[in-house]
Amino acid sequence: MATNEAVRTPAVEDYTKAIFALESRRAEPVPTKTLASRLGITPGSVSAMLKRLDELGLTTHVPYRGVRLTPAGRRIALEVIRHHRLLESYLADVLGMPWDRVHDEAEVLEHVLSDDLEELIAAKLGNPTVDPHGDPIPSVEFDLQEGETVGLDELPIGATGRFVRVSDSDPEMLRYLADQGIALGDALEVLERQPFGGPLFVRFGHGGDGDRTLALGDALTRAMRVELAGGAE
């Protein structure tokens, strides 16, 4: 399952993973500045690394537009993503680590996880298909199945569904949701949207006494993904 170990450095893995994530969002070549912003480094440093990735056959350059992953680069990205999300699941489900902390730990461990340990972790967890944040886990064959979801911020008043995925980029947001008792799988209904960029009022629960209504800001609703009742349209 491993790719050529001569090219597998943490930097190579981080770059391919970041390019994969950005490619998935835009379905277009990834500009250097966009990649630099995601990685938090200078465009000059990114340009130097992209030259190396191109020499290794992991990316191709599209003049004046950016870079794309080659099949070899995509394989590395998916393998690292599989490592990362399995580690997050193990830390949360087996060790009981809160979902706002598992991302940073997995960022470190993903680079040193062996294939044998990966298989043991997957078996221990029952070969999960999503991680603690609802992100899909690539299969052992590196197949990534993205379920149909809609951003909570995109839903109209009266829409109903289930909260199934959330960005792990901001631990504070995850802690807030946990403090409010909101978890993946919760049913929800959009009740009201305040004008002029005001909050979205959302009821979580199944119509019982335990329901709660929260006023959620734009940043949080953009981070949350919903599976619509009856399937996403």
Is residue 200 within 8 A of residue 221, CB to CB? The reply is yes
pLDDT at 1: 40
Is residue 82 within 8 A of residue 142, CB to CB? The reply is yes
Mean pLDDT computed over every residue of the chain: 92
In this structure, how many other beta carbons lie within 10 angstroms of the beta carbon of residue 109? 16
pLDDT cut 90: percent of the chain above it: 85
- Rounded distance, CA 2 to CA 157, Å? 47
Is pLDDT at 116 greater than 60 in this prediction?
yes
pTM above 0.75, yes or no: yes
- Rounded distance, CA 76 to CA 159, Å? 38
Domains and CATH numbers, the chain: 1-146 (1.10.10.10), 150-228 (2.30.30.90)
Residues in the chain: 233
Is residue 203 within 8 A of residue 191, CB to CB? The reply is yes
pLDDT at 232: 45
Q: How confident is the model at residue 2 (pLDDT cuts 50, 70, 90)?
A: very low
**Which residue did the predictor score with more confidence, 110 or 27?**
110
In this structure, how many other beta carbons lie within 10 angstroms of the beta carbon of residue 87? 23
pLDDT at 37: 95
Residues 119-166 have pLDDT tens digits of 999 999 999 999 999 999 999 999 999 889 999 999 999 999 999 999
Residues 55-98 have pLDDT tens digits of 999 999 998 899 999 999 999 999 999 999 999 999 999 999 99
**Residue matched to tokens 């911020």:** 153
